[in-house]
Structure formats: C-alpha cells, structure tokens
Amino acid sequence: MPQRPKLLTREVLPFFGSFAALALFALAFDGLLHLFDLLWIGRWLGIPGTLLIIGSTVYSLRKRKLIQRGQPAKLLRWHEWLAWLGSLLVLVHAGVHFNAILGWLAVWAMLINVGSGLTGKFLLDRARKRMEEARRRMRDRGLSEGELEDRLYWDSMTFDVVKQWRAVHFPITLAFSVLATAHIVAIFLFWGWK
Amino acid sequence: MKKRPLLLIVIALNLLILVALAFVYPHLMVSPGPLVKGHAELATDCFACHSAWRGASSSRCTECHVTAEVGLKTTKGVPIPSRTVKVSFHQELLEQDCMACHSDHQGPKLTKSSRKPFSHGLLKVAVRDTCSSCHAAPKDTVHRDLQIECSKCHESKAWNPAHFDHALLAKAELDRCESCHNAPTDRLHRQFQGGCKSCHKTDAWKPATFDHNKFFVLDRDHEATCETCHKNNDYSRYTCYGCHEHSEAKVRQEHIEEGIQNFQNCVECHRDPRVEPEKHGGRERSGRKKD
C-alpha cells in the first residue's frame, strides 16, 4: 500500500505532467501569438521545430550503432528534451489553424509519437529503478534462491516490456517521419519563402 | 518478431496510399484553404499559379489578369460596363506584386487577420495623394463642405482615428459649432445663448474655461466647497440653503417683509454678494446696513 503514493508522484505524474506541459505551453505560446497578431512567427516555427526533432534522432542512430560517438545515457536525455521542445514548436506552428489533411495527420502522428516516447521513458525509468534496487539488495544482503528468482523474473519482464515498446515506437516514428516529410515537401514545392 | 516485417509493410502501404492521395486530391491534402470563388475551377491544378519550389508568382497571375485591363475587361476579354475603382490603382502600382495584397487561399476565419491588407505605399505618389481617385468623400455635415485633402486629418492606414484641426474650417463654419456638434441638453447648457467658445476650446471639450463669476461671484464669504451649493455634483442646479447662514425660513421672512414674493431663484438678483440688489441693477453694499 505505501507504494501507491510513490507510484503516483514518481512515475504517473511526471508522465502525464510532460504531456500536459506540452499542451499547456503550446496553448499559451499560440495564445500570445494570436494576442499580439504575430501569427507569421508561428508559420516559421515549423522549421526550428523540425530541426530540433531531427537533432534528437542522434540518440536513435547511436542506439542502433549507426554512429559510434557519444554516451548513450547522455544522448537519451538530449533525445527527450530536443524531441519535447521540437514538438512544442511544431505544435505552435500547427496551432496557426491549417487546412490541409496531410498537415493534420503529421501533427497527430507527432503527438502519438510523443506519447509513445513518454511511455518508453516511463518504462525505462521503471526498469532502471528495479535493476538498481535488485542490485542494491543483492549487494547488501544475500537473497534466498526463491526471492532472487522472483526478482530476476520481474526484471526480465520489465525488459521484455521495454523491448515490446521499442517494436511499437519505431513504426509510429516511421509513420510520423513519412507524413511530416510529405507535408514538408508539399510546402516547399508550393511555397515561395514569403 | 516474425510479425514485425508484416506490420511494417502494412504501415508502409498505408503511408504510400496517403502520399498518393496528396497527388489525387491536392486541394484536400495539401492546400492551406479553399480558393476564392473566381478560381474555384483551379482547385486541383496547383501549378496553374505555383511554380515548383518557387511558390506563386505575379507573372502567373498576369497571364490571365492583364494589369492594363484590370477593372476594364474580364479575364475572358469582355468589357466591364461601369468603370470600377480597381481601374484607379491597379494600373498605377509601383510594382506588380499581386501577393502583396492578394491571397487566393481563404484560410480559416481565425487566420484572416494575418492576411496582408492593402498598402497605400504600393501606389505611385501622384495617385496616393489624390484620395478621390479611389475614395468618395463622406457626405455628412463634417465633410460635406470641406475642400481640403483627406490626408490633412486621416492616415492612409485607417480612417480612424482622425486628427481633426478646427483651423482647417472656414471662419463662418468655425463659428457655427452646432453645424457639426449637438449641444448638450442638460439644464446648465440649455440656458446658454452664447457660443460654445465662451467656455470651451476647439482642441478639446474639457477642460472648459467656465467663469463662475458670470453667474455668481464667489467672494470671501462664499469660499465653500462645490457640494455646498451643487448637491450630488449636479452643476446644473444650485441651492443657497446649503450653509448655516441662509435658511429657507429666514430668507422667506426677509423677502416677504420687503414685499418680494418671487425669491426662489436667488442669483437672479444676488449675482454678486458684495452688491445689494435694486430693482434695476445693484448698488454697493456699503450703502446699506449689513445683514
């Protein structure tokens, strides 16, 4: 029972908090642009937003060993922040009330991608905590065979969940990438940088 | 793990279909908003106005809308019977930049304000200075007899706010405030026969240069607060019974004794407390024993 408040404050709230903060910041930013009649800024925010999201994929390349440089743990933190910030800018950009279906689909795919990313962060943090706890217990006191077996089972389950999540996160990212690319190509095809 | 390639293929196929739809239905998938009514038939032909990677260009517009014929002939070459206001300036623009004013895609209502309004700066100076080439002067009392250019009072960006200067008016017109302004109908203003200028200036209604001495002289014995005589800040009325000196009973008694029946409007006779009223005018108080 005492675990429940910890679960809420340490895991559930940060997860929903990140998503809610994204929505609230986007609404506030969009509101300010409308208030001061600066919608043209919103139109251009798609570019830095996209660049930030592209920058965040350095971690994905490192994880798949397509690049060899950089500490994965550090790059993961950058991945989380850059993707969140880039999504915020794209969301404000989208808040300038576009009409095209392709743009809508790209934004929804991005939001699902952000939700998926936050789920991955949540699962990974939980797995890390369980591993650290297990390691500490094993170090501090000797575990009985049954307890150790039980703990390792749960750890392996956690890792399986992370693996399964990766299998879902990739197609979502793929869908987002294709839709966003299609939207960007369409814009550059018809837009004249004015 | 075996299911993943199949899943990816299904996703990839769906995405391909979506991208293909962008080519088949560009007005739904890509267009930022429906085209204006006159261009509705071009909805699926994006390249009728857009050049690939360079956006919409004025040269594409003028292929159909010949600048020299704007307002005179339709794009089909049919003459327009009545001369439209478009003729006044489309031929007189400094440069042909259609997109500076026009956006054929009508965005959602909330984005309307982001569209560029017409800028008078795009006009040649001669046309810009002749407002009447496009605008008709208002026929109201303020503008009816004016012979001056609009720019003396109005900015080109918006009609309001205007910076009206009374000095621009002819002397005869300047003295007839009521030809443009309605006089206030409160009791204070109703009794005035003189022009507004006796109290007000032309640059602003307030502050008014009201001379209280014209109605009642505030001498040393009457250095009271306004509220003493004008109750509830109503300056259109007054009372002389607001202080201890003048009670209604006492005033009545004194006036009845002298055979004065009509004593309700005190300032009619007592305009200056230093002067004792007589039948016609007044004489110095020193000539009579003080009350």
Write out pLDDT tens, residues B43-77.
Answer: 889 999 998 898 888 889 999 998 888 888 888 88
Query: What SS3 class is residue B35?
Result: strand
pLDDT value at position B277? 78
Select the more confidently predicted residue: B47 or B232.
B47
At B114, is the pLDDT very low, low, confident or very high (cuts 50, 70, 90)? very low
CB burial readout B92-131, b (16+ within 10 A) else e:
bbeeeebbeeebbbbbeeebeebeeeeeeebbeeebbeeb
Q: What ipTM score was computed for the predicted complex, to two decimals?
A: 0.72
∠ CA A132-A137-A143, nearest 5°, is: 135
pLDDT value at position A7? 63
Q: Is it the case that residue B266 has pLDDT exceeding 50?
A: yes
Q: What whole-number distance in Å separates Cα of residue B93 and Cα of residue B61?
A: 15
Q: Is it the case that residue B282 has pLDDT exceeding 50?
A: no
Residue A174 to residue B12, Cβ atoms within 8 A: yes
- Length reported for chain B: 291
pLDDT value at position B254? 87
Q: Does the beta carbon of B7 lie under 8 angstroms from any beta carbon of chain A?
A: yes
Q: Which of B14, B21, B30 is the best residue to mutate to test the A interface, defined by the most A CB atoms within 10 Å of its own CB?
A: B30
Lowest mean pLDDT among A117-121, B37-41, B274-278: B274-278
Q: Nearest-CA distance from B140 to chain A in Å?
A: 34
Lowest mean pLDDT among A54-58, A102-106, B88-92: B88-92
Q: What whole-number distance in Å separates Cα of residue B255 and Cα of residue B240?
A: 14
Q: Is it the case that residue A109 has pLDDT exceeding 90?
A: yes
Cβ atoms of B215 and B199 within 8 Å: the answer is no
Q: What whole-number distance in Å separates Cα of residue A128 and Cα of residue B103?
A: 54
Q: Nearest-CA distance from A183 to chain B in Å?
A: 7
Amino acid B190 reads: R
Q: Nearest-CA distance from A143 to chain B in Å?
A: 34
pLDDT digits (tens, 9 = 90+) for A136-177: 777 676 767 666 666 666 666 667 788 888 888 988 999 999
Selection from B104, B40, B14, B39 nearest residue A190 by Cα? B104
Q: What whole-number distance in Å separates Cα of residue A102 and Cα of residue A180?
A: 8
Residues ≥6 apart with Cβ < 8 Å to A97: B107, B108, B110, B111
Q: Nearest-CA distance from B22 to chain A in Å?
A: 8
Residues ≥6 apart with Cβ < 8 Å to A13: none
Q: Is it the case that residue B253 has pLDDT exceeding 50?
A: yes
Average pLDDT, chain A: 84
Minimal Cβ distance to A192: which of B11, B54, B111: B54
Nearest chain A residue (CA) to B34: A99
pLDDT digits (tens, 9 = 90+) for B182-191: 888 876 777 6
Q: In whole angstroms, how far apart are CA B163 and each of B150, B151, B158, B203, B204?
A: 10, 10, 12, 10, 12
For the record, the structure tokens of A167 come out as: 């299998």
Work out the end-to-end distance of chain A between its first and last CA atoms, rounded to an integer number of angstroms: 60
Percent of chain B with pLDDT over 90: 2
pLDDT digits (tens, 9 = 90+) for B188-207: 777 666 778 878 888 888 88
Select the more confidently predicted residue: A98 or A4.
A98
Number of Cβ within 10 Å of residue B217's Cβ equals 15
Cβ atoms of B97 and B58 within 8 Å: the answer is yes
Amino acid B278 reads: E
Q: Does the beta carbon of A175 lie under 8 angstroms from any beta carbon of chain B?
A: yes
Residue B8 to residue A102, Cβ atoms within 8 A: no
Q: In whole angstroms, how far apart are CA A105 and each of A42, A43, A69, A101?
A: 18, 17, 34, 6
Minimal Cβ distance to A179: which of B18, B51, B99: B18
Q: Does the beta carbon of B64 lie under 8 angstroms from any beta carbon of chain A?
A: no
Residues ≥6 apart with Cβ < 8 Å to A152: A134
User: Cα–chain-centroid distance for residue B163?
Assistant: 10
Q: Within B225-283, where are the H helices? A: 226-229, 248-257
Q: Tell the burial category of B285 from Cβ atoms under 10 Å away from its Cβ (0-12, 13-18, 19+).
A: middle
Q: Does the beta carbon of A167 lie under 8 angstroms from any beta carbon of chain B?
A: yes
Contacts of A184 in chain B (CB under 8 A): none
Beta strands in chain B (DSSP E): 50-51, 55-56, 275-277, 282-284
Over range B172-177, report the average pLDDT: 80
Selection from A170, A121, A169 nearest residue A19 by Cα? A121
Q: What residues does B275 pair with on adjacent strands?
A: B284
pLDDT value at position A99? 73
What residues of chain A, 116 to 135, have a C-beta less than 8 Å from chain B? Answer: none
pLDDT value at position A133? 78
Over range A119-147, report the average pLDDT: 76
